[in-house]
Structure 1
Amino acid sequence: MSFANFSFLELTRFDAFIAAATSFLVCLLLVGTKKWHGAFSMDSSTGVQKFHTAPTPRIAGIALVAGVIAGYAASSHSPAAAEKRYILSSILMAGMPAFIFGLLEDITKKVSVKTRLCATMASGLLGWGITGVSLTEVDVWGIDWLLGFTVVSVLFTAFAVGGVANAINIIDGFNGLTAGVALIMLTAFGLIAREVGDIPLAFTCLIISGAVFGFFIINWPFGKIFLGDGGAYFLGFILAWIAILLPERNPQVSPWASLLICSYPIIEVGFSFLRKSLREGHHPSQPDGVHLHMLANKRWARHLFSSFSRTFQNGLTSPFLWAYAAIPCAAAIFSYQSTWQCALFILASFFIYIAIYSKLVFFKWFPKK
C-alpha cells in the first residue's frame, strides 16, 4: 500500500469536525440532564456483565445518530460530493431499525435478543432495498455461485449484517472499548478505500469516525455515558455495511479483507457461542463473565493498575483489546488485494485470540491440556 500522496490535511474536514462536535455536545447534554431521564436511560451497575460502579446513561446512540446526521448536513452539496451524501443517507435510513429497537431496549429493558437481531437483519435488507447492494461474492467456489441468485445474496447479506452488529454489541463492555475498536476498523476501511480511489467511501468513514470520536471523548476513560444497545447495534450496522460496500464497490478489494478487519468482534462472538454451547446447562444466549475483555480486566488491568480506582481500571482495560484489534486491521491494509493472505491473517488472528484467552484463563499461552 502506498501513502506517497497522503496528507493529514485530508483529516481536517469540516463535515467530520461537525459530526464530532455534535456527537460530543449531545453526549454532554445527555449526561448533564440524566436526573430528568435517568429513570428510563440509566444502565444498572449490577449483573454478570456489568463492570461500572454506578448507574450510567446508556443512550449515547442518540448522540451517534445526531453526529452522523450533522456530518451529512454539513457535507458539501457539490456534484462531486453527491455520492458521499448518498452513502451517508442510505446508512442513516437503513440503520434505523437497528437503532430504534436497540434504543427501545435501552429504555424499556424489555426487547428480546431475538427481536434486536431481527431488527439488525432488517437493516441489512433495507440497505439492499435502498441501494441495490448485497454480497455477490466471497471468493469461495460454490458459495459465489449461490450468491449469484438475488434471494440468496440478499439473505446472506442480512445475516452477515446481523452477525457483525451483534458482535459489536458483545464487545461493548468497557469504557472506550467499542468506540476505540470501531475507530481502528473505520481507519482501516477508510485507508483502503482511499488507496483504491473510492474517495466517497473514504470520506464517509471519516465523518462516521468523527461521530464516534465525539462519543469516545465522553466515554473514555471514565465512562460518563454508554452506547447502549441502540448505539452498539447502529454502529455495528454501519461497520457491517461499510464492510460490504468496500469490496462490492471495488472489485480489486477481496471480501476477505473486510472479514479480516472485522475479525476481532466476529471471533469473540463465535468463540463465545461455542464456549457457552459446550457448558452443560448453559444456553449460548445467556450472559456470562468470561469474555476476553472481562478476563483482561480481571487478570491484567486490576493487577497492573491496582492503585487506581475501579472506574479507571475499567477504562485502562480497553487499550489491551485495541492493540489486539489493530493487528488484523493493519494486516488488511497491506493485504487487501489477496484473498489467501487475508485468510491466513484471519487464521493468525484467531490463534492470537486463543493464545491470549489461554494466558488469561490458564496463565499459559499454550497449555498442554
Structure 2
Amino acid sequence: MNTLHALQGVFQSPALQAAAWGFVSTFALCVLMVITKRWHGALTMDFTDGVQKFHTAPTPRVGGIPIVLGLVVAWGKAPADMQAMLTPILFAGLPAFIFGVAEDITKRVGVMQRLLATMASGLLAWWITDYSLSRVDIWGVDWLLTFTLASVIFTAFAVGGVANSINIIDGFNGLASTMSTLAFVGYAMIAWQVGDNTLAGVSLVLAACVWGFFWVNWPFGKLFLGDGGSYFIGFALAWVAVLLIERNPSVSAFAALMVCVHPVTEVLFSIYRRRIKQLHPGHPDRLHFHSLVKQRYVRRWFPSLPSAVRNSITGVLIGGMTLTAAVAAALVHSSPWLSAAVFAALALGYVAVYARMVRHHWCSPLQFLLVKPAAKPVRA
C-alpha cells in the first residue's frame, strides 16, 4: 500500500503533469502540421536535393514550431518555480529558433548568421538570468572564467557550439530527437541526485516535448525537426547544462559535457576532417558518423528493407548511444577526474569506430587523428 501511494504521488507531481501536457500538445501539433501540409508545404517542405540528404520524398521541416508551442503549453501547467526557469529558455531561445525557422522557410540564411543567432541566445540567457559558466574544471581556464567578460563570451561560444552540433547530427528520422530526449533525461537524473528538483522537472518537460515530436518523425519521417527545432533544442540542452553546473557546485562540468559527447565530438571531428581536406567547415557531405553507420552496417544488416526504413533504424541506433553517456554521467558526476576520464574514453571510442568504418580495420584513434591518409569517397 505504501508503494502504491508513493507511485501515485510521483504521477501526481506537478512536474510530471506539466511534462505530460508538453508531450500531448507537441504530438497533437505535429500531427496537425502533417495534416495541413498541403496549405503550408510551399514554404515548409524540405526537398530531396542535397548531398547530405537521405530522405526520398518532400517533407515539412518545421517540427521545431510544435515543440516550442508544446513547451509554452507545458509552461502554463508548470508550478511557479519551473515557470521561472522555463521563461528565460523560451525567450532567450528565440534568436536561435527564429533564424532556424527562417532558414527552413527561405533556405537563404547563412551558416554564420545562424551560428551568431545561437550565440546571441546564449548572451540573452545570461542577460536575463545572470548565469554564465564560471568553471569547466580545467586549471587555468577556471581562473580566466572568474572575469565576467571572459565567462560570458565563453558561455556564448559553448551554447552556440552545442546548438550547432544538434543541427549537424540531425540526419536521420529519430536521431536528434532520441539523442536530445535521452540527454534531457540524463540531466534530470543528475539534477535529481543533487537535490535540484526544479531543474530536474524542467529537464523532464523539455524531454517530453521533444518526445512528442519523435513519434511523428519516427519511423516514417512525416515531419522533420528543421533548423528551427534543432537550434532551439540545442540551445535548451546547452542552457540546462549551464544551469546544472552553476547551480550545483558538486556537479563536474565534464559530466554535463559527457551527456552531449556524441554531438560535441561529431561537430569537432567534422571541423577537423574538413580542415584536413581543406574544405569549408560548413561543407555538406556524407561522411558523418551516422551516414557511415548506415552505409557500412545498417544497409548490410537489412539489405531487403527500403532505404527509408534503414534511415529510421540508423536514427534510433545512433541516437540511443546517448543512453550510455547519460548513465555514465549520472554515476560519476561528482568526480571531475572520473568525469574527464570517461568523457575522453567515449570521445576516443567515437573516433576509433569512425576509423574502423573508414579504414575497414581497427587502429588507434590517436594514430587515426595524427596520420590520415586520403579517404576514399563513400557511395550512397
Q: Which residue of 1 aligns with 2:221?
A: 223
2:73 to 70, 74, 92: 70
Deviations 1:64-100, CA, capped at 9 Å, x for gaps: 101110100111xxxxx32211111110010000000
CA distance in 2, matches of 1:126, 1:35: 36
CA contact (8 A) 1:296 1:320 kept: no
Q: Report matched runs for 1:1-369 at 5 Å.
A: 10=10, 13-75=16-78, 81-280=79-278, 282-366=279-363
Distance 2:193 2:7 in 1: 13
- Shifted more, 88-97 versus 324-333: the winner is 324-333
Q: In structure 2, how many angstroms separate the alpha carbons of the residues matched to 1:72 and 1:58?
A: 24
Name the TM-score, length of structure 1 as normaliser. 0.94
Q: Secondary structure at the match of 2:321?
A: helix
Aligned-residue offset at 1:324: 2.6
Which residue identity does 2:10 align to in structure 1? E
CA shift, 1:7, in A, is 5.7
Task: Give the Cα separation in 2 of the matches to 1:278 and 1:119.
Answer: 27
Q: 1:256 to 1:285 in 2, by over 3 A?
A: same
> Counterpart of 1:289 in structure 2: which amino acid?
R
1:283 aligned counterpart, secondary structure: coil
Per-residue CA deviations over 1:299-329 (Å, capped at 9, x if unaligned) read 1121111211111111000233134322222
1:10 maps to amino acid: V
| Alpha-carbon separation, structure 2, partners of 1:274 and 1:291 | 12
- Conserved 8 A contact 2:182-2:207: no
Report the alpha carbon displacement of residue 360 of structure 1 after superposing the two structures with TM. 1.6
Partner Cα distance (2:204, 2:249) in 1: 22
* Structure 2 alignment gaps of length 5 or more: 1-5, 369-380
| Distance 1:285-1:8 versus aligned 2 partners, 3 A rule | farther
Contact 2:255-2:332 within 8 A present in 1 as well: yes
- AA aligned opposite 1:68: L
Please tell me the residue identity of whatever aligns with 1:164. Answer: V
Please list every run of at least 4 consecutive aligned residues from structure 1 whose deviation after the TM superposition is greater than 6 angstroms: none
Q: Work out whether residues 254 and 338 of structure 1, in 8 Å CA contact, stay in contact via their aligned partners in 2.
A: yes
Amino acid across the alignment from 1:296? V
Aligned mates of 2:286, 2:58 — CA distance in 1: 19
Supply the AA of the counterpart residue of 1:294: S
Aligned partner of residue 314 in structure 1, secondary structure: helix
Q: 2:374 matched to which residue of 1?
A: none
- Higher deviation after alignment, 125-134 or 349-358: 349-358
Structure 1: how far apart are the matches of 2:326 and 2:361?
26
Moved more, 10-19 or 173-182: 10-19
Pick closer, same or farther for the CA change 1:33–1:173 going to 2, 3 Å. Answer: same
Q: Secondary structure at the match of 1:138?
A: coil
Show CA shifts across 1:15-70 (max 9, x none).
Answer: 11110111111111111111111111001112111011101000010011011101
Identity within the alignment, %:
47
Q: 1:7 to 1:150 in 2, by over 3 A?
A: farther
The alpha carbon displacement at 1:215 in A equals 0.2
Partners of 2:137 and 2:17 lie apart in 1 by 38
Unaligned 5+ runs, structure 1: 1-5, 76-80
| Cα shift readout 1:176-232 (whole Å, capped 9, x = no counterpart) | 000000011111100010111100000101111111011000011111101100000
- Tell me if the contact between 1:11 and 1:206 (Cα under 8 Å) persists in the aligned partners: no
Displacement of 1:9: 6.4
Q: Structure 1 residues 210, 9: CA separation in 2 closer, same or farther (over 3 Å shift)?
A: farther
Mapped to 2, the partners of 1:9 and 1:209 lie a distance apart of: 21
> How far is 1:8 from its partner?
9.2
Structure 1 residue 14 displacement after superposition: 1.7
- Residues in 2 aligned to 1:239 and 1:11: alpha-carbon distance in whole angstroms: 25
Greater mean deviation of Cα atoms: 312-321 or 58-67 = 312-321
**SS of equivalent residue, structure 1 residue 204:** helix
Residue 253 of structure 1 aligns with an amino acid whose one-letter code is V
CA–CA distance in 2 between the matches of 1:167 and 1:211?
A: 20
Cα 1:9–1:54 change in 2 (3 A) is farther
